Structures are given as C-alpha cells and as structure tokens.
Structure 1
Amino acid sequence: MAMTAPLLSVIIPALNEAENLPRLLEDLHILRAVGAELILVDGGSHDGSAQQSVTAVDQILTTAPGRARQMNAGASLASGRYLWFLHADTRVPARACQRLLEVLGEQPAWGRFDVQLSGAGPSLRLIGNMISLRSRLTGIASGDQGIFVARSVFAELGGYAELPLMEDLELSRRLKRLARPRCLWPPLVTSSRRWEQHGIWRTVLLMWRLRLAYYCGASPEKLARQYYGGPPS
C-alpha cells in the first residue's frame, strides 16, 4: 500500500550549531508528532551538530557548506507537499506551528512569519518589528522569517539560486511574481547574537548597505566578502 506524502517537510541547514539545534528540534517535536518530516542538512560541522540530532530528525544529509546549497539538497530529499526552511538558531512557538498547519490547509503558494530577536531591550524589539513591517510592505522575506513554499512551486522555480548571500531575497522576488506571501503570526524568534556581538546599529547599517547594494546590482560574491568580514551568518 502506498504511503501518503506528509503535508510538511522542515529543512534545517546547519553549520556548528550544537548549542542551538536541540532547542529548535524540541520546538518542532509537535510537528513531527503529527507527521511532519524533519530534514537536517549539515554543512560539515565539527561540533557534533549532526550526531546529537540523529533521534530528533527523520533524515540527516551532509553537504559542502553554503546555506542555499544545503537547503536545495534538503529539498531534493523532501517528500512533503510543503517545504519549510528554518535557520538552526530559530525558536518556534507552539502556536506558530499550529498556525502554519492551519494556513497550509488553505494551500497558499508561499509565505513567511513575522520575526522577533531573542535579546532583551527596546532596540532589539524595534529591529524585529521593523523587519516584519518591511516584509509585510514589500512582500520580500529573509531566511530568518521561516520561508515556507509549496514543493511544486519551489521545483518549478528551480529552488534557491546557489548564491553566497541574498539567496533568500532572490527567491522571494521570484515567488512574489507568482503571489504575495502569506504573512503569519505569532513571530518566530531568531538569535540576536550577531547584533549583540558586533553592535546593534552597526549591524543594522551593514545589512541595509548590503541590501541596497544588492538591489543596485552588486554581485552577491562581493557582498558576501563584506558580510562575512562583519557579523557571522
């Protein structure tokens, strides 16, 4: 008897995220319990990220590092009708899982969540609100916002362009031509470590500058060299 394909495959690219992965996978247990497929794509970690996750996911794949490459590899193995791409330093409230399942029943082409930063303080709260508002106005999503997409749509578009940076914006622009994203709440919680380690407003200015340069035609390879010389991915 043929197995019914799951509604959802969750794809998690990771590189040396042994500290954060267990918390995310615990958050996602509620989805796995109702049949969602969890796929971890490790980019060659040396901190045991993959080994410690064996019992908490359905598939583990090791690839060369590169977030777009890793997500495409995970998508190629996925059997769910929808793909949900989550960064390893994300936390997912139970209500967000429930809301996603509700919305997928309406068969949207794609969507994303609002986001908040994990750290305390009004500046970080403001930045999270600004990211969410900008995304609602523009229809463009960042990877931190947990992009979800029908697997058929993802395949039709050829997946992520394997860029060293801005792969999330590039995919969003192509998806937006098909449909506006569903913008979901409650927000996902993403790590504020890069803002805290390198300075909140310095990091904001760097990201704005890189984003503007990308929209003006700068090569993602050049932007990646600037980005990785600053806050970590």
Structure 2
Amino acid sequence: MTKITIIIPVLNEENNITKILKNLQNDQDTEVIVVDGGSQDITVQLVEEMGIKIVVSPQAGRAFQMNYGALLATGDILLFLHADTILPQEYKTIITNLLSDKKVVGGAFELKIDLPQFSLRIIETLVNWRSRFFSLPYGDQAIFVKKSIFEGMGGFSALPIMEDFEFMQRLKKYGKIAIASAKVITSGRRWQKLGVLQTTLINQKIILGYYLGVSPDTLVRWYKGK
C-alpha cells in the first residue's frame, strides 16, 4: 500500500497547529512529521501533547525544515503542508489516484482562503487558473511529490523565500504536475493583516523581483514589508 508522509514546517504556530493536526490525527497509513524551526512559543509542547512526531531542524528556514522532514520520511509520497492549511478529507485517495498516472510526478490542490471577502474569491480564481495553466502551484496549496523524484531533484533549494516556486519550476522538467479539483483551506491571516490589495501587490513585486534576479534577502525584506 502506498504510504504518504505529511511534512509540516512550523515556527511559532501555537494558534494554528492544534486545529491542523486534529484534522490528521485519526488518519491511518499516514505518517505526520512536524519540523520546528526554533519556535519560542508553545508550538512544540502542543504537538507533543497530541502524540505527533516533532523534530527540530538543524537549520531554521522553511526549505531546510521541509528537506529535513523529507530525510526522515518513510512514505513513498511526500506532502508538504503549511501549518495554517487544512487538507480535504479525501486527500489520500486524490493524491494516490493522481500519482497512479506514470506521467504525473507531483501536484497540489486548488486554493480556498478562509475569509469571506469577494476580492479573495477573485484571488482564489486567479491562483487556481495559474496553477492549472502554468503548472505552478505554491506551497500554501499543499504540494505533493513522489519521494523518489524529490530525492533525485535534491529537494528544495536553500532559499529563504520562493523555495516552493523554484521547486515547482524544476519539478515540471521531470513530468506532469497535477492540480486536484478538491480545495485546501488556508488561513487568510496575512490578507487580513495587510489588506487584500497590499498583500497582492507585495506578492507580485516579489515574483517580479525573483525573475529579475533580486537577491533572496531583499525579497524577504519586501515580504516582511521592510
């Protein structure tokens, strides 16, 4: 039977992690590995109390944390899940069915943001359109990939930002990227904090900067609004 390992990088996620893990707690034949990047709150304690495997990454940063989790994974399929994103109930069946196609090497889900604003429905539509037509889902869409392919690629590049974007660009060279019609539900906390327009402008600025060769450290400052 195909086994899925879910890898969740965390950093100070005490307000979200319990909800995310409860959604996965009763899943059989699924391995869950939480990889902490140096949390200063009670994230680690909450995960331990739920009986979920948690490890501390030797190096902080989401790319390093996900690679470390993948190194420890025993599953045939790796699913990288953000700590504020909920998977659809039928995610295992969807993933195994999609990856049963030998041409498919990985994929992700469509996106739903958990806030009611109409402007976010437009964002969701654009994100899902981009994912399907350009085969470029981002990390908040729960990227999944065959472990053998991931290892052959050398995992995520050591980038402080845009590691998911860069990874998917490389993954496309190995085969087809599938986008499931089911949706993950991700937190709208960043959209809520900065506003839809400002968040969208920052995101597009970072993507443009990435293509123009702006340094990753500068992109991180832009992301943080500095």
Shorter-chain TM band: over 0.9
Q: Is residue 2:117 matched to residue 1:121?
A: yes
Q: Unaligned stretches of 5+ in structure 2?
A: none
Shift of 1:95: 2.9
Deviations 1:84-125 (A, max 9, x none): 000000012213344224334445311111111111121111
Q: Is residue 2:78 matched to residue 1:91?
A: no
Is the 8 Å Cα contact of residues 66 and 164 (structure 1) preserved in structure 2? yes
Match of 1:155 among 144, 151, 154: 151
Q: Unaligned stretches of 5+ in structure 1?
A: none
Structure 1 range deviating more: 140-149 or 90-99: 90-99
Q: Is residue 2:112 matched to residue 1:112?
A: no
Superposition map of 1:1-233 within 5 A: 7-30=3-26, 32-33=27-28, 35-54=29-48, 56=50, 58-63=52-57, 64-106=59-101, 108-229=104-225
Distance 1:149 1:166 in 2: 17
Q: What SS is found at the alignment partner of 1:160?
A: coil
Distance 1:178 1:104 in 2: 13
Distance 1:61 1:147, change over 3 A: same
Q: Letter of the 1:84 partner, please give it.
A: L
Q: What SS is found at the alignment partner of 1:60?
A: strand
Q: What SS is found at the alignment partner of 1:109?
A: strand
Q: Letter of the 2:142 partner, please give it.
A: G
Q: TM-score, normalised by structure 1?
A: 0.90
Distance 1:114 1:78 in 2: 25
Is the 8 Å Cα contact of residues 78 and 144 (structure 2) preserved in structure 1? yes
Distance 2:218 2:176 in 1: 29
Q: What SS is found at the alignment partner of 1:50?
A: helix
Structure 1 range deviating more: 124-133 or 167-176: 124-133
- The sequence identity of aligned pairs, in percent, is 38
Shift of 1:137: 1.1
